Amino acid sequence: MAPPHWPSHIQYLQCSQFHSSVPPEVRLIIQGNSNTNKQPTKHRPPVVIRRITSTSHPAQGQCGLFAAKKIPPQTHVIDYIGEIHCDDRPDSDYDLSLYRGHDGVNAGIDASRMGNEARFVNDYRGIAAKPNAVFSDLKTPLGEMRMSIWSSGQEIKKGEEILVSYGKAWWRARQTNVPDFI
């Protein structure tokens, strides 16, 4: 079931879906020896989605991801779930790189049309002095490639907004939205 404040026009996923643009050999690399992409996680991640009402917040009117309880330092928060694809998605603001092949075939995770709570994580710029979380790619013990959000070196307090860095390149690629501070 979708969490509170989930937008009705976005499909809620508990495990990533493969788009038809992913060649079978790339799908095998991403899945490794696991079939866990088909098994929804049983536990709710320690996050809540909240609409941002503060006028000083640069994403006012949008949503953000907040800690539902205290999150210790360097702790897995949530996997970034979405549509794994190999086609270009230049207009998506929810697309992360997952895999870069030597042959130029790359795969991303796009959560613009479907995804989980992680799609609501905002960039720290204009909100906090530094990010309190990071994106980290990992392989599960069965070799499945995933992108996850982890807390940084300090604990995230209950109710605090979880903020990552999208990277300067992400903002530069969106020149019209570039905040003054990059």
Ligand X SMILES: C[S@@+](CC[C@H](N)C(=O)[O-])C[C@H]1O[C@@H](n2cnc3c(N)ncnc32)[C@H](O)[C@@H]1O
Binding site for ligand X (CB under 6 A): 58-59, 62-64, 93-94, 119-120, 122-123, 125-127, 179
Name the minimum Å distance from CB 18 to ligand X: 21
Least Å distance, CB 33 to ligand X, is 31
Give yes or no for a contact between 170 and 135, defined as CB atoms under 8 angstroms apart: no
- Inter-CA distances, 175 with 105, 131, 172, Å: 26, 21, 5
Q: Which is nearer to ligand X, 31 or 135 (CB)?
A: 135
The C-alpha atoms of residue 107 and residue 86 are separated, in whole angstroms, by 5
Q: How far is CA 135 from CA 56, 106, 112, in A?
A: 25, 18, 17
Nearer to ligand X, 7 or 143 (CB): 7
Taking the least distance from each CB to ligand X, the nearer of 20 and 56 is: 56
Cα angle value 85/147/80 (rounded, 5°): 80
- Closest contact distance (angstroms) between CB of 75 and ligand X is 21
Least separation in angstroms between CB 124 and ligand X: 6
